[in-house]
Chain A
Amino acid sequence: MMSSLLSVKNVEAFIQQYHILHDISLEVQSGEVTVLLGRNGAGKTTTLRTIMGLNKVSKGDITYNGEQIINEQPYRIANKGIGYVPEDQGIFGELTVGENMRVAVKKEDERTTKRMEWILDLFPDLKKYWKKQGGQLSGGQKQMLAIARAFVNENDLLLIDEPSKGLAPIIVEKVTESIQQMKEHATILLVEQNFQMASNTGDHFYIIDDGQTVLNGKMNELQENQELKRKYLGIL
């Protein structure tokens, strides 16, 4: 039986006075890509932000590697080995590509150097534009930089929020390929609206609707179930 790296149980969360997450429960298994699916405004991004400590949990439990991380400071959660790629990519626009990478590196050792080389081979554009300011990159390059930055440390879990958002189909393909390659090195919890990308990368899925996890299962089962796709994802 596979071990659960991240466990979210009956989590509720507010943003200011708004009750956004009503009852989120999910398990992320080591070595897999788990995809959060759902319509716009269902609570997927808030779920990732809550796991990362950027939103307070009002009720429920979150454990990572068997350790409670509920309402911990985001930097502590990051230092436990969770990398985060936000929906807006979070690129530091006035830092160069190289500086964006350097600022993320926690330990400068041989392993990190090798990891950096591997990731720059995966995203050669980053090497090419190493001295270019982050704010001047294209949408796809920014997305690659955001993913690379989260991956440069030996994080066991990556939380990636809508990597395909606003990207041209050809770039989406490239990002999909890179996530498939990263899968061999880290566990991934992915929020994705693009079902094609989600189904090409995901092993398991959770559907979030109105702040609640309403369904989960293996991705290949969902791919074949037209009724569920129509009901929760609006895919005809």
Chain B
Amino acid sequence: MDLIINLVINGLATGMLIFLLASGLTLIFGLMSVLNFAHGGLFIWGAFTGVWAYQTSGSFTLGIGVAIVTGLVLGVITEKLIVRPVYGNHIQQILITLGFMLVLQEFIKVVFGPNQKAVFPPAFLEGSFIVGDIVFIKYRIFIIIVGLLVFMVASYILRRTRIGLIVRAGVMDKEMIQTLGVNIKVIFMSVFMIGSALAALSGMLHAPYSGVIYAEMGLEFSILAFIVVVIGGMGSFTGSMLAALLVGLAQAFMAYYFPALSLAVNMILMTIVLIFKPQGLFKVEGGAR
């Protein structure tokens, strides 16, 4: 039983990290029809700048703050300079964002050096605690709590506030929402910034979780995030949460019981979903739910 619970916690923690990365990606795709392959670049920049601030100052909270600010700033740059000129053209979007992803990845090496960096959780999140006979690793629980909080806050905003309604409506019909007096460019930019900040936050939280960060991890996580977006339904916020947890749990259990299949499990999941539900677990009539 302990083993199962620990595998579930591992899976949920991994799933939450993927969710943070994928949620921004799915909103950006749903609202703007943009395939942003540079999203993983924001993940690594969040990780490296956040870890730099954390290790320099000793404050983990400051590290998270710096990662989020980095995500916001890079989000503005990516949207304005890279994505805006290629709205409506998916082929150009894939090429230019993939190119920008590589630029971001290589630039990490220029700024922070080419070597991997070891990262440890802050003292207050280090170690574990025991409930009954079960050992809980603090940092994993912390990631699960942060992921849940982000999901709840974002869901509340999307469902209960006017700005959330505008985003959801914009995902469904960009033209109509403009004729109701909404400046869609401002909404696009805001969603892009928030999505980028979530990616950067995910990168920062991932650092102490994996214990090591390196420039190439952005591309690896990007692929995971895309798989999650496809499984969840492109544009569906709730779908990305469920799909991320599914992928995280599948990875955790496969890695233990069938290690040889642990890398293939995501692709298998995606293939199954695409065969039976080509539009993903949550069919999106436009978008974000």
Residues of A whose CB lies within 8 Å of any CB of B are 52, 54, 73-75, 78-79, 84, 86, 90, 92-95, 99-100, 102-106, 135, 149, 153
What 8 pairs across the A-B complex have the smallest Cβ distances? A90-B176, A78-B181, A74-B178, A84-B179, A103-B165, A92-B169, A79-B181, A75-B178
In the complex, chain B residues 246-289 whose Cβ is within 8 Å of any chain A Cβ: 285-287, 289
The answer to whether B162 and A102 touch across the interface, beta carbons within 8 angstroms, is yes
The answer to whether A78 and B162 touch across the interface, beta carbons within 8 angstroms, is no
B175 CB–A CB distance under 8 Å:
yes
* Residues of B with C-beta under 8 A to A86: 176, 179
* Residues of A with C-beta under 8 A to B179: 52, 54, 74-75, 78, 84, 86, 90
* Residues of A with C-beta under 8 A to B286: 92-94
* Residues of A with C-beta under 8 A to B182: 75
A-B contacts besides A90-B175, A95-B172, A103-B166, 11 pairs, CB < 8 Å: A54-B179, A75-B180, A78-B179, A90-B173, A92-B169, A93-B286, A94-B286, A103-B177, A104-B180, A149-B180, A153-B181
Q: Give the Cβ gap from A159 to chain B, nearest Cβ, in Å.
A: 9
How large, as a class, is the contact surface on chain B?
Answer: 20 to 34
* Residues of A with C-beta under 8 A to B169: 92, 95, 99-100, 103
Bitwise interface map of B from 176 to 217 toward A, beta carbon under 8 Å scored 1, else 0: 111111111000000000000000000000000000000000
- Taking a contact as CB atoms closer than 8 A, the residue among A84, A95, A149 that contacts B165 in the complex is A95
B168 CB–A CB distance under 8 Å:
yes
Q: Give the Cβ gap from B188 to chain A, nearest Cβ, in Å.
A: 12
* Residues of B with C-beta under 8 A to A90: 173, 175-176, 179
* Residues of A with C-beta under 8 A to B289: 94
Asked if A92 meets B168 with Cβ closer than 8 Å, knowing A75-B183, A75-B184, A135-B285, the reply is yes
Q: Give the Cβ gap from B153 to chain A, nearest Cβ, in Å.
A: 19
Q: Give the Cβ gap from B239 to chain A, nearest Cβ, in Å.
A: 13
* Residues of B with C-beta under 8 A to A94: 168, 172, 285-287, 289
Asked if A95 meets B181 with Cβ closer than 8 Å, knowing A54-B175, A102-B162, A135-B285, the reply is no
**Would you list 26 pairs from A and B whose C-beta atoms are within 8 A, ordered by A residue?**
A74-B175, A75-B178, A75-B183, A75-B184, A78-B179, A86-B176, A86-B179, A90-B176, A90-B179, A92-B168, A92-B176, A94-B285, A94-B289, A95-B165, A95-B168, A95-B169, A99-B165, A99-B169, A100-B169, A102-B162, A103-B165, A103-B166, A103-B169, A106-B181, A135-B285, A153-B181
In the complex, chain B residues 127-180 whose Cβ is within 8 Å of any chain A Cβ: 162, 165-166, 168-169, 172-173, 175-180
The answer to whether A75 and B176 touch across the interface, beta carbons within 8 angstroms, is no
* Residues of A with C-beta under 8 A to B183: 73, 75
- Taking a contact as CB atoms closer than 8 A, the residue among A92, A105, A153 that contacts B172 in the complex is A92
Residue from A75, A93, A102, A105 with most neighbouring chain B CB atoms (10 Å): A75
- The docked-state distance in angstroms from the alpha carbon of A204 to that of B160 is 43
* Residues of A with C-beta under 8 A to B166: 103
